[in-house]
Homo-oligomer: A and B are copies of this chain.
Amino acid sequence: MELLNQQMSFAGVQRQYKHQSSCLDCDMVFSVYLPPQAQHDVVPVVFWLSGLTCTDENFVTKAGAQRIAAELGLAIVCPDTSPRGEQVPDDPSAAYDFGLGAGFYLNATQAPFDKHYKMYDYVVHELPRLLVELPLDLSRASIMGHSMGGHGALTIAIKNPDQYRSVSAFSPICAPSQCPWGHKALAGYLGVDQKAWEEYDATALLLERGCRLPIKIDQGEADNFLVEQLKPELFLAAAKVELVDVEYGLHPGYDHSYFFIASFIEEHLRFHHRYLG
């Protein structure tokens, strides 16, 4: 790992690393915030998965999370949202919702995307192994994300309940099999057989496997994507069927932006901290 940047923030340190990813077959950059407690001890970690068009930097600069992470003694790890580089195939029309910046946290099976687009393996397996160099206690980990990253956090947590202690999401894509963003991404990365899509659909996974992890979801009621793309009602209905508790908040006036995330990030980090102890 090559340290690209390091800046003091709330008495801790915000770092950016570059490394060669074997599962994505390209160079990748990720960010990590180490709270002041990490100077003397290992600390628990929260993974943040960003949404469409983001890199590792959006959350770092806009969410205001370092203040609370410093208080609670939590590290926050922010991966990029897709493989990167000139050799990595993009959406044919360079659309924002597929290809670069839109990896959907899955393992692609369709050419030409199956060579690089393995963001599920990257987040679940490769990235945690890299992090052993840092003063982190990876046995105490939680995961959260926004929009496409909320989809990523929910699907990854439901499939790996032993690896995370809690999961939360802002404005997640709750049922990608049933919305335009998801249709395009799942068909493009996984093919047209919708059976394969269920592996990466939080609502379908919850109905199939249930979830014993604590789940928190917050959603802005003035979010332009709420009705067509996000569909939290489908996930909440599945949770009811499976007798899974979801701490759900619908917030009048808030939209899909980082202004919404910043307004509620403290509640999310305190939620995770309860289980990371």
Residues of A within 8 A of B (CB): 7-11, 14, 61-62, 64, 66-67, 220, 222, 253-255, 257-260, 262-263
Q: Are B255 and A64 in contact (CB under 8 A)?
A: no
Cβ–Cβ contact A8 & B259, under 8 A = yes
A254 to B8, CA, bound (A): 5
A61 CB contacts on chain B under 8 angstroms: 61-62, 258
Q: Is the CB of A255 within 8 A of B67?
A: no
A263 touches B10 (CB 8 A): yes
Q: How many whole Å from A261's CB to the nearest CB in chain B? A: 10
> Which interface residue of A64, A220, A257 has the most chain B CB atoms within 10 A?
A64
CB nearest to A65 among chain B residues: B64
Are B64's CB and A259's CB within 8 A? no
**A10 and B261 alpha carbons, distance in the complex (Å):** 10
Distance in Å: Cβ of A267 to nearest Cβ of chain B: 12
A62 vs chain B, min Cβ distance (A)? 5
- Nearest opposing residue in chain B for A9, CB measure: B259
In the bound complex, what is the Cα–Cα distance between A262 and B9 (angstroms)?
8
Determine which of B64, B220, B222, B257 lies in contact with A262 in the assembled complex, contact meaning CB atoms within 8 Å.
B64
The answer to whether B262 touches A67, judged by C-beta atoms less than 8 angstroms apart, is yes
Closest Cβ–Cβ distance, residue A224 to chain B (whole Å): 12
Q: Given the complex, which residues of B lie within 8 Å of A254, measured CB to CB?
A: 8
Contact B255 A66 (CB under 8 A): no
**Known contacts A8-B263, A9-B263; can you find 16 more A-B pairs with CB under 8 A?**
A7-B255, A7-B259, A8-B254, A8-B259, A8-B260, A9-B262, A10-B262, A14-B259, A61-B61, A62-B62, A64-B64, A64-B67, A64-B262, A66-B262, A66-B263, A67-B263
Within the complex, the shortest CB–CB distance from A176 to chain B, in Å, comes to 26
Neighbour of A7 across the interface among B11, B66, B257, CB < 8 A: B257
Known A67-B262, A262-B67; contact A8-B255, beta-carbon cutoff 8 A? yes
A254 to B258, CA, bound (A): 25
What B residues does A262 contact at CB under 8 A?
9-10, 64, 66-67
Chain B: which residue is nearest A220 at the CB level? B8
In the assembled complex, which residues on chain B have CB atoms less than 8 Å from the CB atom of A11? 263
Q: In the assembly, what is the distance between CA of A10 and CA of B259, in Å?
A: 8
In angstroms, Cα B62 to Cα A259, docked, is 11
Residue in A7, A66, A222 with the greatest tally of chain B CB atoms within 10 Å: A7
